[in-house]
Structure 1
Amino acid sequence: MNSPIGNAIATRETGPEAIVRQHKDDLTLVLPSHVKGETWMRLAYGVLRSNAQLLQVATRNPGSLMTALQDCARLGHEPGGKSFYFVPFGNEIQGLEGYRGVVERIYRAGAVKVVHAEVVYANDEFVWEPGKVDTQQPPRWEGPQQVPFHKADWFADRGEVKGAFSYGIFQDGTPSRVVIINRDYINKVRKESKGSENPKSPWVKWFDQMVLKTVAHRLEPWVPTSTEWRKEQLRAGLEVAAEQTGPAVINVGPQPQEPGPDSYDDSPVEVELLDD
């Protein structure tokens, strides 16, 4: 007869945690340079130990767990944080990057100092006419309109969601390309998301936050989203300097700090669990 202690030992030796341990080298190999492999692995084990439902699904479908962990590692997020989630869904585990995760990857690259993303509702005032001079707006909006003008009554009924917009501000103060999505695009993304009509789906529980994540993803092609980008810029600069004047030291300025809780320009929406 199997004893509880014997079953527990067998689970540790052949269960999901053992499989994760066996693939430690594969997981840490794809981690960006700012993430410490040992710390990341301890957090991965902790996620399994702290969530009984997650452990049960991972035991039945360890392949889905490994896929989610690989996605988390590749994006440079720590397991168990608010940037990437491991969600049991049916007989598999889905790895979901949150809105904060997208924003963190943009900040880590060092080229963008502010990420701005907002949901636009039917009763909001929203104006976006690139290149048009609008003297009716406050002074900061005079001249060619570089970013949208968005005005809302945060304490009133703002109506239904009709779209969202996002842009980044680079270190020199210039804005990135402005990304705007309408309700048709939002509905299309939701329809393509697996299980989006399920009552437990983030699209049902946190619709506004899902819209924010969607528009943040649309911004990614227009801003750097990796710390490796900064390293590549430094490497290229050193090579050019060496070709022109011989070996030289290039001052690239202060290194970007990891974003703190006040770095995110995502108010007034509290972002928790998000999905594609």
Structure 2
Amino acid sequence: MNQISNAIATRDNGPAAQIEVYRDEYAALVPSHVNADQWIRLAVGAIRGNKDLEQAARNDVGVFLRELKTAARLGLEPGTEQFYLTPRKSKAHGYKLIIKGIVGYQGIVELIYRAGAVSTVIVEAVRQRDTFRYVPGRDDRPVHEIDWFGNDRGPLVGVYAYAVMKDGAVSKVVVLNHRRVMEIRAKSDSKDSEYSPWNTDEEAMWLKSAVRQLAKWVPTSAEYMREQLRAQAEVAGELTAPPTAGTPAMPQPTALDEADPADDSEPVEGELVD
């Protein structure tokens, strides 16, 4: 019985249990259209299902809770391609792993849809054996043909993104070739980490490179950047709703030596790269 009690006590002191402790606070932060209970389940499941993430969260639970706060305010699902939770080494923590949240391409697409002006967002990767045609000024959108039944489409060579507005108009088309994506990747200070999405989910990061630039040309881009900056600038302990009675204040994060990696810093200038 003592062993069971000790196991429960240990579990209840872990980062997943801390999410449950602050359930009401997170529920107050998520936008009204987001199911708070489902959001909490995703956050808890992401940590309990990955030992590296759980250990990184234990190393500084305040940092972990702060990153979840950013996801909550943006209304994005933590531990998914909307909002990655990734372990990263921190010099301030003696090079131990801590949690870093990174908005994924699906998260940016969700924020674009949320503005209400866009009916469809197209973001696709182009591989070597695909057929891709697009002439700016002549074509309103690319023609991308894929041999879905071929054995191998080949390596990634490019990526593109555009939006169709609700009035039928087509936004600016963003096209990035391999060189341009690699330039964006080079600006990420986590690119060499085994946990970086650039190494664990490369195609998704190519897609993000394009859709981030698209966000400059559709109505949500300014809103998205304002919300990002606001969420990152707030002190982690500031909450929209007060804690429930008997609940301790949410732990404050320790100072990070690397404030904001290139993955989610200022957007790269939107441009067309043939």
Is TM-score (shorter-chain normalized) higher than 0.5?
A: yes
Q: 1:23/1:188 Cα in 2 relative to 1: closer, same or farther (>3 Å)?
A: farther
Structure with bigger RCO (C-alpha 8 Å, 6+ apart)? 2
Partner residue, 1:271: none
Partner residue, 2:133: 127
Distance 2:197 2:46 in 1: 20
Match of 1:215, SS? Answer: helix
Partner residue, 1:150: 144
Structure 1 residue 113: Cα displacement: 1.8
Asked if 1:94 is matched to 2:100, the reply is: yes
Identity of aligned residues (%): 39
Q: 1:221 aligns with which of 210, 216, 221?
A: 216
Partner residue, 2:175: 180
Larger Rg: 1
Q: 1:215/1:17 Cα in 2 relative to 1: closer, same or farther (>3 Å)?
A: same
Q: 1:39/1:157 Cα in 2 relative to 1: closer, same or farther (>3 Å)?
A: closer
Match of 1:71, SS? Answer: helix
Partner residue, 2:199: 204
Partner residue, 1:79: 78
Taking structure 2 as the reference length, what is the TM-score of the superposition?
0.64
What amino acid is the match of 2:174? V
Question: Gapped runs of 5+ residues in structure 2?
Answer: 90-96, 225-262, 265-274
Partner residue, 1:239: none
Task: Tell whether the 8 Å contact from 2:29 to 2:73 is kept in structure 1 after alignment.
Answer: yes
Q: 2:121 aligns with which of 93, 104, 115?
A: 115
Taking structure 1 as the reference length, what is the TM-score of the superposition?
0.64
Question: Gapped runs of 5+ residues in structure 1?
Answer: 133-144, 230-274
Asked if 1:192 is matched to 2:187, the reply is: yes
What is the count of residue pairs matched by the alignment?
A: 216
Match of 2:164, SS? Answer: strand
Partner residue, 1:232: none
Structure 1 residue 28: Cα displacement: 3.7
Q: 1:224/1:26 Cα in 2 relative to 1: closer, same or farther (>3 Å)?
A: farther
